[in-house]
Structure 1
């Protein structure tokens, strides 16, 4: 009787060992091959995106933009670009190595556009730094991938992309300048005898430099 019980126990363990891997695979399921939306995929830096990165591409291929920390090589930031569409994203501060994976049919983050040569990799030779210049100028970059007929790197162009912040008067408020006509006021305010620019506020304007 005891030997029979041991035999059944061994058979049960064998069946369990055979069934468990199949169950785990079924639970994991296939990799998601749905093409990502045009724009940010993920940001692993823990910092907000504030510096501009503009990328120009051609119709016919899609791209994954990959930024990795220049010091450590760790993945930091990724975005998906539909070829030919306007693309501009805000990048966290730092210095990054920049790579692009290019191809036609998306097959998931591991395979990108395919493992058998379907994925082309373009890497910039120099790291790019995203930082503040002077007072209120956010320094980013513009990358042009539209002229690649003579080779992957021959037509690649990188230019600065700057966002400037300017301080201006908020002219929606009342005030006078040396007895001049009131600015931003109607006739009801004119009899109030306002002091020149009393209570005036500044406002911050953001423009492309």
Structure 2
């Protein structure tokens, strides 16, 4: 199983915008950022259950998708037949605002009154 914070880059763009991912115990996650216009993957990051990851990502507008499960079968099969696939219901805009770079923190578990709305997707849409 990859270490928490293992990133695979699909882009050569400089990674400057902060992105924090918090996860609950129980499941592990492979989080994928996808360009919202071209639908191309930008990067993936592995997050073990119960950990928090802080990475930098390129500026841009992204859809956040993630695969979740317990047992890791590798990057081709992810968490095997029990893999759950989801995506956030909004586009995340990592941008320069004034003289600051905007970033996000997401929490991959149920948060009372949380604002990250997700929907289940098919494996083919991951």
CA contact (8 A) 1:64 1:79 kept: yes
Q: Structure 2: any 5+ residue segments left out of the alignment?
A: 117-126
Q: Is 1:83 the counterpart of 2:49 in the alignment?
A: yes
Instruction: Output aligned runs, 1:66-105, within 5 Å.
Output: 66-105=32-71
Take 2:114 and 2:63, find their aligned partners in 1: how far apart are those partners? Answer: 15
1:149-169 deviation per Cα after TM superposition (whole angstroms, max 9, x unaligned): xxxxx97534xxxxxxxxxxx
Q: Does the 8 Å CA contact 1:40/1:89 hold for their aligned counterparts? A: no
1:120 aligns with 2:78: no
Instruction: Select the structure that is richer in strand.
Output: 2
Q: In structure 2, what is the Cα distance between the partners aligned to 1:155 and 1:146?
A: 12
Partner of 2:124 in structure 1?
none
TM-score by length of 1: 0.52
Are 2:97 and 1:133 equivalent residues in the alignment?
A: yes
Question: Where does 1:1-209 land on structure 2 (aligned, <5 Å)?
Answer: 35-114=1-80, 116=81, 118-135=82-99, 137-147=100-110, 157-158=115-116
Q: CA deviation at 1:47?
A: 1.2
Secondary structure at the aligned position of 2:15 is classed as coil
Gaps of 5+ in 1: 1-34, 149-153, 159-209
* Shift, 1:38, TM fit: 1.1
Give the number of aligned pairs: 116
1:145–1:156 Cα change, 3 Å:
farther
Instruction: For residues 68-124 of structure 1, give each alpha carbon's deviation from its aligned partner in whole angstroms, at most 9, with x where no partner exists.
Output: 11111111111000111121111111111110100000111121101x2x1111200
Change in CA separation of 1:121 and 1:155 when aligned onto 2, cut-off 3 Å: farther
Structure showing greater radius of gyration is 1
Cα distance in structure 2, aligned partners of 1:70 and 1:88: 22
Higher relative contact order (CA 8 A, sep 6+): 2
